[in-house]
Structure 1
Amino acid sequence: MKKVALLAIGLSLTLMSCNSEPTLQKYFVESTESKDFIAVDLSTRILQLKKTELSPEENKALETLEKMNILAFKSDSTNLKQFETERAKVQTILKDPKYQELMKVSSGKEGGAIYFVGEDNAIDEFVLFANKKEAGFAVVRVLGDDMNPASIMTMLSILKKSNIDLEQLKPLQAMVPQ
């Protein structure tokens, strides 16, 4: 009887500690299974860079970056209601206090924003969210370890030097109007 009581208490504590709150990671996982979304995971290998050609500052910035996850929903005249629903889900998740807004650009219900998770000089995740009713929305998660805004700016300069393997980006071509 004592074992059953201990097992019940342990199970109760486990269930109570499970976070049922929506997270961006859960949203990505659930959405990648849907035909309405396009998901791409990119590692730093896509950049095809030779570390010997980078400055010490660029190498340091590159080392803080782990990967990027891109999730896109393409809207059209047949799925506007679903677009609104999915966009609202993302916006609700991004209202969580752990996502600190860095910058916002908008014109009504369209626009974009950049968020980060972590401390100013020890950022673990940057999130870019952009949406436009006629095109859809995209969420980009830039995951790393101890990133900072300066390292992201350095990463942008590294992108100019890279020989990106565009084959990995083919799934996103469906989002770009022809």
Structure 2
Amino acid sequence: MKMLTKILSLIVLTSLFLSCASSPSLQKYYIDNESNDNFVSFDIPASVINLKESISEEDREVLESFEKLNILAFVKSESNAAQYKVESQKVKAIIKDSKYQELIRVKDKGRNFVLKYEGDESDTTVDEFVIYVAEKSKGFALIRVLGDNMEPEKMVKLMNQIKNLNSDEMKKLEGVFKNMNFS
């Protein structure tokens, strides 16, 4: 009996290890590339969002459901064009995973925009949004909006309330998007 228990435990541990190692994740991709010279990487916590003092209780709840943005951008140049193609394919493969549900896809004049979320279609709340923006001549940006039980329609409403984003992180973000001509 002890031998059977050991064998079953070994099988379970091996299958868990193999299942985790076999599928790449956005988190692992961020970690693997945040120090890569081809990428610009930074996080923006919810605390940098300064709202007017008189926001509604509903807006306050929405803000509390938002935790942070993770931004990873590949800035393409002549010297890294081959690497751009490889990295772009990796990201596309990761976000094609069935755990991400597509909300919006736009292709226009060589630019691509994809908005996905992690969750079940029957859920009304989301814990992660994934935004992929690419332009072949400039590069791509991968943005993760992380939170807890975020409601998409309320998040859009809250975005209209955001004011005074004068942090260093926001200035970096504006610079990245200006350089990539995404804004």
- Structure 1 length as normaliser, TM-score? 0.86
Structure 2 match to 1:26: 28
Superimposed CA distance per residue, residues 129-169 of structure 1 (whole angstroms, 9 cap, x where no aligned partner): 0000111100110011111221221231122xx22133123
Structure 2 match to 1:16: 15
- Alpha-carbon deviation of 1:34? 1.2
Structure 1 match to 2:157: 154
- Alpha-carbon deviation of 1:12? 4.3
Structure 1 match to 2:46: 44
Cα distance between partner residues in 1 of 2:128 and 2:12: 29
- Alpha-carbon deviation of 1:105? 0.4
3-state SS of the aligned residue for 2:102? Answer: strand
| Alignment gaps of 5+ in structure 2 | none
Moved more, 53-62 or 83-92: 53-62
- Alpha-carbon deviation of 1:31? 0.9
Structure 2 match to 1:145: 148
| Alignment gaps of 5+ in structure 1 | none
Cα distance between partner residues in 2 of 1:128 and 1:110: 13
Cα distance between partner residues in 2 of 1:58 and 1:169: 21
- Structure 2 length as normaliser, TM-score? 0.84
Moved more, 77-86 or 105-114: 105-114
3-state SS of the aligned residue for 1:85? Answer: helix
Cα distance between partner residues in 1 of 2:137 and 2:172: 19
Cα distance between partner residues in 1 of 2:179 and 2:129: 26
- Report the number of matched residues: 173
**Does structure 2 retain, via aligned residues, the 8 Å contact 1:72–1:175?**
no
**Does structure 2 retain, via aligned residues, the 8 Å contact 1:38–1:73?**
yes
- Alpha-carbon deviation of 1:106? 0.7
Structure 2 match to 1:132: 135
Cα distance between partner residues in 2 of 1:175 and 1:36: 15
Structure 1 match to 2:84: 83
**Does structure 2 retain, via aligned residues, the 8 Å contact 1:49–1:163?**
yes
* Runs of 4+ off more than 6 Å: none
Aligned CA RMSD, in angstroms, stands at 2.3
**Does structure 2 retain, via aligned residues, the 8 Å contact 1:74–1:136?**
yes
Moved more, 96-105 or 144-153: 144-153
Candidates 122, 130, 135, aligned match of 2:125: 122
Q: 1:103 to 1:175 in 2, by over 3 A?
A: closer
- Alpha-carbon deviation of 1:58? 1.1
Identity of aligned residues (%): 33
Superimposed CA distance per residue, residues 89-132 of structure 1 (whole angstroms, 9 cap, x where no aligned partner): 01001110111010000147631110011144121111110000
Q: 1:95 to 1:44 in 2, by over 3 A?
A: same
Please tell me the residue identity of whatever aligns with 1:29: I
